[in-house]
Amino acid sequence: MSRHLPPLNALRAFEATSRLGSVRSAALELSVTPGAVTRQIRKLEDWLGQPLFERSYRQITPTPPGYSYAALIGKALDDIDAATRDVAHPAKTTTLRICGYASLIQRWVIPRWSRYYKAHPNVDIRFVTTMDPIAELDKFDGALCLIPGQLRHRVCIPLYPIVVTPVCSPSLLPLTISDLHRTTLLHCASRPMDWLRWTEHAGLDNVHTSAGPVFPDFNLAIQAAVEGLGILLVDEPLAAREIQSGQLVIPFGPKRTTQNSYGLVFPAKHSHADHLTAFAQAISAL
């Protein structure tokens, strides 16, 4: 059976731009010019017959099909990279397969990954995203997830505590906490109770906390907030990029520190426990 494959360079340019959030960053990673990256993305869009990015003056964001395609292409490129390393250095490479929440891997782990990789260049880590890492743990070496209540026969190394805060586009300002009952609330499907818990913490009783659009993915919810569609509760470290760039602002408090933390969980008797521990410690904020 012949394969229906687009040009590899176009795929690499598209995946890097989607993952890094800009053509310039992708060009630096791929050691080419921004113009070359743009041409490769256009080439792929022509090949597929549809746009993969929505473009504005200051930013480029994946379309819904582009976002899904980038996740699949990223995994495929990771598999190709890992397979190549296994063949090129069969006796030197240790491979760790780690599952976890997509938003946690993309927004917390990847920016800190180099801390570990520079010290352990012969350990390859293959990430797989899932909505329920603990349920999938038996298939992997470790799971990046909320620290579960039951840790029997498992090691759990905390990464950081979860701090929840409201964010919105600057276009919605001025906005005060007293305006919340007439403001569109944005929700992430994986965190359905966030608004209820936050309003209780803030002492508010006049907010319809279940109203508003629900997004299946944290990144889509973040994008909706950036576009000014409403106000979103976020785990502050995971929205740091948008807050630091000014795309999102924290209009008011209070911040709510939950009882949960993210961590790396793995079996206590794992043969690669030392590698997993070193990796968790390298990306930890604690």
DSSP summary character for residue 148: P
Q: Cis omega (within 30 of 0) on the bond before 174?
A: yes
pLDDT tier at 130, thresholds 50, 70, 90: very high
pLDDT digits (tens, 9 = 90+) for 245-260: 999 999 999 999 988 8
Task: Report the candidate in 231, 225, 154, 220 with the shortest Cα–Cα distance to residue 190.
Answer: 220
Give this prediction's pTM: 0.66
Residue 41 domain-assigned (yes or no): yes
Residue 55 domain-assigned (yes or no): yes
> Facing residues of 126 across strands?
97
Residue 217 token pair: 């993915």
Under the phi-then-psi rule, with left for phi > 0, alpha for psi from -120 to 50, and beta for the rest, what region is 45?
alpha
> Where among 36, 53, 75 does a domain terminate?
75
Res 190: pLDDT? 87
- The count of residues in the chain is 286
Residue 201 domain-assigned (yes or no): yes
Residue 189 domain-assigned (yes or no): yes
Query: Residue 253's domain is classified under what CATH number?
Result: 3.40.190.10
* 101-124 burial: b if 16+ Cβ within 10 Å, else e: bbbbbbbbbeeebeebeeebeebb
**Of 92-101, 167-176, 178-187, 246-255, which gets the smallest average pLDDT?**
92-101
Could you list the residue range(s) of the whole structural domain that residue 42 is in?
A: 1-75
Query: Residue 71's domain is classified under what CATH number?
Result: 1.10.10.10
Residue 129 domain-assigned (yes or no): no
> Facing residues of 100 across strands?
129, 144
Residue 87 has pLDDT above 60, yes or no: yes
Residue 239 domain-assigned (yes or no): yes
Number of domains forming the structure of the chain: 2
pLDDT digits (tens, 9 = 90+) for 12-61: 999 999 888 889 888 888 888 989 999 999 999 999 999 999 887 777 88
